[in-house]
Amino acid sequence: MDAVIKIGGSLAESPEQLKALGFKLSELAKKYAVTVVPGGGRFADMVREIDRRFALSSMLAHRMAILGMDQYGLLLTQIIPNSVATYLLSDARQLSEIGAVPIFLPSRLMFKEDPLENSWDVTSDSIAAYVASRLGAAKLLLVTDVDGIFTEDPKQYADAALIERSSTGELLRLNKRTSVDRHLPKLLLEMPMDCYVVNGNYPERVAAILDGQHTVCTFIAPRK
């Protein structure tokens, strides 16, 4: 598997740009073996709101949010040409080998194996990393609506600087929610792989990463 690509739910806020990304991914799948893992987006946000109201158990909130990923994944099948939703890692491998775009719905795997802590520190970022590890992917792309990881939230601080390269250890020492979840650096220490955080509003950047070219993004190196 060349790459697992997580499509962040935030990208659904710009439908036309998400469609452009979908078309690009369909083209790239003819050249690279890729699997898409959906984010949670508004589906997971609804679970957060219900959790605030009803103080859900950590296990229940975790599972409901993962089901939100499944729902977004089904939406992506309508947006990404030549895509197929699947719950099976074996199907994802086979589909990627014939140039299709498998969209991996994670609920069955995650409910059965329950490999990650059940908390809001674990989101679709860590789940995508776990799936990438299981598929033996060379690269993990976390595709979101910002250019990468910043020193501060770029939506709140005008002087926030893009971190172009970070080790997993450096990211862990930041010890705060950035554009990736808090658990991801711990997972990358255990399952080292090249990880990129990239803005999906610029599909050519996703293509550049798969082509091994330099582009605007954050590269998380699989080293301390």
- Digit-by-digit pLDDT tens for the chain (224 residues) are 999 999 999 999 999 999 999 999 999 999 999 999 999 999 999 999 999 999 999 999 999 999 999 999 999 999 999 999 999 999 999 999 999 999 999 999 999 999 999 999 999 999 999 999 999 999 999 999 999 999 888 878 888 899 999 999 888 887 666 789 999 999 999 988 999 999 999 999 999 999 999 999 999 998 65
In CATH, what number is assigned to the domain containing residue 59? 3.40.1160.10
pLDDT at 175: 65
Domain count, the chain: 1
Neighbour-count burial for 73-88, b at 16+ CB within 10 Å, e otherwise: bebbbebbebbebbee
Angstrom distance (rounded) from CA 214 to CA 224: 22
Contact 166, 223 (CB under 8 A): no
pLDDT at 101: 98
Residue-range definition of the domain harbouring residue 147: 3-221
HEC per residue, the chain = CCEEEEECHHHHHCHHHHHHHHHHHHHHCCCCCEEEEECCHHHHHHHHHHHHHHCCCHHHHHHHHHHHHHHHHHHHHHHCCCEEEECCHHHHHHHHHCCCEEEECCHHHHHHHCCCCCCCCCCHHHHHHHHHHHHCCCEEEEEECCCCEECCCCCCCCCCCEECEEEHHHHHHHCCCCCCCCCHHHHHHHCCCEEEEEECCCHHHHHHHHCCCCCCCEEEECCC
Closest CA to 35 of 72, 73, 6, 75: 6
pLDDT at 177: 62
Angstrom distance (rounded) from CA 47 to CA 69: 11
